[in-house]
Amino acid sequence: MAENKMAEKKMVEEITSMDEDFAQWYTDVVKKAELIGYTSVKGCMVIKPAGYAIWDLIRRQLDERFKDAGVENVYLPMFIPESLLQKEKDHVEGFAPEVAWVTHGGLQPLQERLCVRPTSETLFCDFYKNDVHSYRDLPKVYNQWCSVVRWEKETRPFLRSREFLWQEGHTAHATAEEAQERTIQMLNVYAKFCEEVLAIPMIKGQKTEKEKFAGAVATYTIEALMHDGKALQSGTSHNFGDGFAKAFGIQFADKDNTLKYVHQTSWGMTTRLIGAIIMVHGDNEGLVLPPRVAPVQVCVIPIQQKKEGVLDKAYELRDRLQSVCRVKVDDTDKSPGYKFAEAEMRGYPIRVEIGPRDLEAGKCVLCRRDTREKTEVCLDDLEGEVTKLLEIIQREMLERARAHRDAHTYTAVNMAQFEKIFEEKTGFVKAMWCGEQACEDLIKERLSVTSRCMPFEQEHLADTCVCCGKPAKKMVYWGKAY
């Protein structure tokens, strides 16, 4: 046991403590859990098998929910001709500074530059313009899974990189009401997915004018609180009204035989969600994965595996558990202590320990990754025990994340309070706002925090704006954001 403890200790020592340096802890976990690999393409990352498998589970489960919401998948080109990008003014202003330009195809210079899509509103508009003629062609509720490129200067694995994976939904509707409904519907799909699958509670709300998407009439967002008290924008849903439709000329003949412009929405979530999982659930031993996005939910670790029957029993348990969860056996020649540390680093929700004595007693030990709590269970109904425990872990991880967020959500009614909070702590601050961008700018300047959203669940904390003291219009969540 002494040797195991040392091996375990050694592996853990290789990651920085999160209380000491959260950013370094994050980088260490991302590397030691083998989520990300090295590449000589600046600002880009390799997503390794352990990282990609999480994305695959996100994609599969989110896609199912999309299908239940009537969404169909398509694929559009990755290139946008410059003239197309420029059709909607706000949009091009927002994105032009951070796109990558293709200027040569084969050995020839191109007649027109193409940008690598930073997002595909313009391409979908170009497509809908040709595909939508009558009210019978509406609504279009399309989505694509792809990668996009934004030429960021500072990058961090999963949180901000020059290329990232995402889904982008783009819809076209006959009426403004239907577009607004779809915008909110998809935001709700996102929030529910994050709570139920990623075990991350979300604040749903609307972005201020200052923070909204380039070209949108209204942007809605889900915001999560990370372990270090910083906020992470985790998904957005935009209502474009008929702005893009007018810029691109997307008209349809309505039932009354008049030509009308369509109303559009778009919505997206990205590999950034993997960053959220790490920063909400992780601890000083490494990654902690919610069961529903854990590529390995149960890792069976044989103790004294050279003793007769131990390895065979481990394989037998794996074969039995395969019907209820994603399971593997660690049958490498590493010491049990090292295997324990590695299973913890990789965030497997449950570790099953089985040794010679357990064999005799017809028992094994289940160890939870999230609480590190151990229980001895009878082998007879291992499938049932594991199923039950995975559900408990999933539920309790969400509860703990919610408790952490609530414990780090503060209220301020004047600037003195507001400043004091951010001097001492990091978290969400709820405060009233007059609706003027001047106050938003001033708050950002003085406290280095941004408005995260105007939550759907409004509270009346005071009559006046936290900044200027004029009559308040909205309660806003403020925070330092990734």
- Per rule CB under 8 A, is residue 116 in the interface with its own copies? yes
Among 332, 260, 259, which residue's Cα sits nearest to residue 300? 332
Comparing CB distances to its own copies, the nearer of 100 and 462 is: 100
**46 is an interface residue for its own copies by CB under 8 A:** yes
Give the residue with the Cβ less far from its own copies, 2 or 107.
107
DSSP secondary structure, 128-177, as one string: HHHH--BGGG--EEEEEEEEEE---SS-BTTTB-SEEEEEEEEEEESSHH
Using the contact rule CB under 8 A, the part of the chain among 5-13, 100-108, 272-280, 389-397 near its own copies is 100-108
Nearer to its own copies, 102 or 403 (CB): 102
The residues that bridge with 354 in the sheet, in sequence order, are 302
- Is residue 364 within 8 Å of residue 353, measured between CB atoms? yes
Among 21, 49, 28, which Cα is nearest to 286's? 28
What b-and-e string marks burial along 291-322, b requiring 16 or more CB atoms within 10 Å of the CB? bbbbbbbbbbbbbebeeeebbebbeebbeebe
Of the pair 165, 389, the CB lying nearest its own copies is at 165
Please report whether residue 130 would count as binding its own copies according to CB under 8 A: yes
75 scored as a contact of its own copies (CB under 8 A): yes
Task: Report the residue number, 164 or 428, with the smaller CB distance to its own copies.
Answer: 164
Q: Counting contacts by CB under 8 A, is residue 53 touching its own copies?
A: yes
Nearer to its own copies, 103 or 257 (CB): 103
**Two structure tokens written together for 19:** 């209380």
Is residue 54 part of the contact set for its own copies (CB under 8 A)? no
# binding residues, its own copies (CB under 8 A): 53
How far is it, in rounded angstroms, from Cα 111 to Cα 474? 50
Q: Which of 48, 65, 402, 470 binds its own copies (CB under 8 A)?
A: 48
| Contacting residue, 16, 17, 81, 304, with its own copies by CB under 8 A | 81
- For residue 127, the minimal CB distance to its own copies (Å) is 5
Only one of the segments 7-15, 145-153, 197-205, 403-411 lies at the binding site for its own copies (rule: CB under 8 A); that segment is 145-153
Decide if residue 106 touches its own copies (CB under 8 A): yes
Nearer to its own copies, 53 or 176 (CB): 53
Binding of its own copies at residue 142 (CB under 8 A)?
yes
Compare residues 93 and 459 and give the one whose CB is closer to its own copies: 93
Q: Peptide bond before 201: cis, by omega within 30 degrees of 0?
A: no
Report if residue 38 touches its own copies, rule: CB under 8 A: yes
* Binding residue (CB under 8 A) for its own copies from 70, 93, 105, 380: 105
Piece in contact with its own copies (CB under 8 A), picked from 140-148, 221-229, 273-281, 394-402? 140-148
For its own copies, which stretch binds (CB under 8 A), given 15-23, 121-129, 337-345, 382-390? 121-129
Q: Is the dihedral of CA 107, 111, 115, 119 positive or negative?
A: negative
Half-sphere exposure of 133 (CA within 13 A, CB side): 2
Comparing CB distances to its own copies, the nearer of 167 and 221 is: 167
b/e map 117-136, b = 16+ CB within 10 Å: bbbbbbbbbbbbbeebeebe
What does the alpha-carbon distance between residue 346 and residue 351 come to, in Å, rounded to a whole number? Answer: 11
Residues in contact with 209: Cβ distance below 8 Å, sequence separation at least 6, in sequence order: 437
Q: Is 249 in the site for its own copies (CB under 8 A)?
A: no
Burial per residue of 187-208, b for 16 or more beta-carbon CB atoms within 10 angstroms, e otherwise: bbbbbebbbbbbbbbbbbbbbb
Tell me how long the chain is. 482
**CB of 369 within 8 A of CB of 348?**
yes
Q: Which residues contact 318 (CB under 8 A, 6 or more apart)?
A: 300, 327, 328, 329
What are the beta bridge partners of residue 365? 353, 376
Q: Among 29, 30, 57, 84, which residue interacts with its own copies (rule: CB under 8 A)?
A: 84
Binders of its own copies in range 163-192 (CB under 8 A): 163, 165
Find the binder of its own copies among 24, 70, 93, 102 (CB under 8 A): 102
Task: Give the interface with its own copies as residue ranges (CB under 8 A).
Answer: 37-41, 44-49, 52-53, 55-56, 72-81, 84, 96-107, 114, 116, 123, 126-127, 130-131, 142, 146-147, 149, 151, 162-163, 165
